[in-house]
């Protein structure tokens, strides 16, 4: 009986050993996961659904485990400083802050909407309000998007300053909505008359028109900013350069029909990300964002 038990135990141990050695074909299975931080867009749950396929796709293509971390815009400096993330996907203001303050490497830019890898910010009023020009805005109320939003705050604030209009003194009042879906709330706030004016990304205005929530005829577009680079993928400066290059190439070569398995569901990676693809990062194209940040006295160039 003891011999039989011994042979059974040996067989089990041999089987387990064989599974451990042959079942995992990845040579890097014991390495620490690569942590990639995604800026929360609209809400935590929607962002999780949106970005999980991309993290899974990077895991599949690199043979390394990419772990998704969702964070608010203002949290990314600490995440980089404390080395809690290796890669990141953030808007172009946060990308510039991380590059300037921590020498982060920027790799690729989202492609989405009418301007490709660039986007614009609009200043809108409700049709019939009589507010059609920047001069008409004096003494009116305005709602902006988040304070670190390139196309819901910075571009509009800077555009007004360029036109000799100071939002701090020439508006009767301005506000930033709280909670999730801030850009949507800007549009609703203007449409329902809570504010005279709104600072809305053109991408979100187009999206809500496409979804038949609004008609373009519902609003006056008083002004629209120059096009500037959209959301950006980057990495901490001390990440392995070979891995950075691998992530950059995977992103740039990602096609619309490519899929990945997430929670037993086959998903199109770019469709879930609401993107058309990625474009190469070019530092000089971010100079316009730097200029707007300086004009608006915003981080990382704030003087007082």
Do 259 and 182 reside in the same domain of the chain?
no
Task: Quote the domain boundaries for residue 139.
Answer: 121-225
In 3D space, the residue among 46, 29, 28 whose CA is nearest the CA of residue 38 turns out to be: 46
- pLDDT of the residue at 4: 40
Which residue ranges in the chain fall short of pLDDT 70? 1-29
Domain boundary among 169, 193, 225: 225
Q: Evaluate whether residue 174 is within a structural domain.
A: yes
Q: Evaluate whether residue 27 is within a structural domain.
A: no
- pLDDT of the residue at 304: 82
What are the structure tokens assigned to 217, written together? 């005829």
Q: What angle do CA 178, 110, 231 make, to 5 degrees?
A: 35
Q: Please list, in sequence order, all residues whose beta carbon lies within 8 angstroms of the beta carbon of residue 231, skipping any fewer than 6 positions away.
A: 39, 89, 90, 91, 92, 95, 109, 110
Q: List residues bridging with 277 in a β-sheet.
A: 111
Residue-averaged pLDDT of the chain:
91
Q: Evaluate whether residue 100 is within a structural domain.
A: yes
- pLDDT of the residue at 42: 84
Q: What is the pTM of this model?
A: 0.89
- pLDDT of the residue at 1: 42
Q: Edge to edge, what strands does the sheet with 66-71 contain?
A: 66-71, 34-39, 87-90, 232-235, 105-111, 277-280
- pLDDT of the residue at 27: 39
Domain boundary among 225, 244, 259: 225
β-strands 141-143, 173-175: how paired? Answer: parallel
Domain boundary among 225, 255, 270: 225
Q: Evaluate whether residue 26 is within a structural domain.
A: no
Do 101 and 238 reside in the same domain of the chain?
yes
Do 128 and 221 reside in the same domain of the chain?
yes
Do 216 and 252 reside in the same domain of the chain?
no
Q: Evaluate whether residue 46 is within a structural domain.
A: yes
In 3D space, the residue among 37, 98, 87, 75 whose CA is nearest the CA of residue 300 turns out to be: 98
Q: Evaluate whether residue 300 is within a structural domain.
A: no
CA dihedral angle for residue 164, residue 158, residue 121, residue 99, rounded to 10 degrees: 170
- pLDDT of the residue at 16: 37
Q: Evaluate whether residue 43 is within a structural domain.
A: yes
Question: Looking at residue 100, which CATH number applies to its domain?
Answer: 3.40.190.10
- pLDDT of the residue at 118: 98
Q: Evaluate whether residue 58 is within a structural domain.
A: yes
Do 159 and 287 reside in the same domain of the chain?
no
Do 199 and 236 reside in the same domain of the chain?
no
Q: Please list, in sequence order, all residues whose beta carbon lies within 8 angstroms of the beta carbon of residue 136, skipping any fewer than 6 positions away.
A: 125, 130, 222
């Amino acid at each position: 009986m003891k011999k039989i038990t011994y042979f059974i135990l040996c067989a089990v141990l041999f089987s387990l050993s064989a599974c451990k050695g042959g079942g995992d074909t990845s040579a890097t299975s014991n390495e620490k996961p690569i942590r990639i931080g995604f800026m929360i867009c609209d809400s935590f749950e929607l962002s999780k659904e949106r970005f999980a396929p991309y993290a899974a796709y990077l895991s599949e293509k690199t043979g390394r485990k990419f772990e998704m971390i969702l964070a608010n815009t203002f949290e990314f400096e600490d995440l980089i400083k404390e080395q809690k993330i290796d890669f990141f996907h953030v808007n172009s203001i946060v990308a510039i802050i991380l590059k300037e303050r921590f020498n982060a490497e920027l790799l690729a830019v989202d492609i989405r909407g009418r301007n490709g890898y660039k986007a614009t910010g609009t200043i809108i009023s409700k049709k019939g309000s009589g507010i059609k020009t920047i001069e008409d805005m004096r003494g009116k109320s305005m709602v902006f998007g988040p304070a670190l939003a390139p196309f819901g705050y910075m571009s509009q604030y800077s555009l007004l300053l360029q036109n000799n209009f100071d939002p701090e003194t020439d508006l009767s009042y301005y506000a930033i909505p709280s909670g999730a879906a801030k850009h949507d709330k800007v549009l609703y706030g203007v449409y329902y008359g809570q504010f005279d004016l709104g600072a809305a990304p053109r991408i979100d205005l187009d999206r809500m028109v496409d979804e038949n929530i609004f008609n373009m005829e519902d609003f006056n577009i008083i002004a629209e900013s120059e096009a500037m680079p959209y959301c950006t993928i980057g990495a901490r400066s001390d990440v392995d350069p070979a891995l950075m290059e691998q992530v950059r190439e995977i992103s740039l070569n990602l096609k619309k029909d490519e899929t990945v398995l997430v929670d037993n569901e086959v998903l199109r990676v770019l469709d879930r990300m609401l993107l058309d693809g990625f474009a190469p990062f070019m530092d000089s194209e971010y100079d316009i964002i730097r200029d707007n940040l300086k004009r608006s006295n915003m981080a990382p160039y704030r003087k007082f």
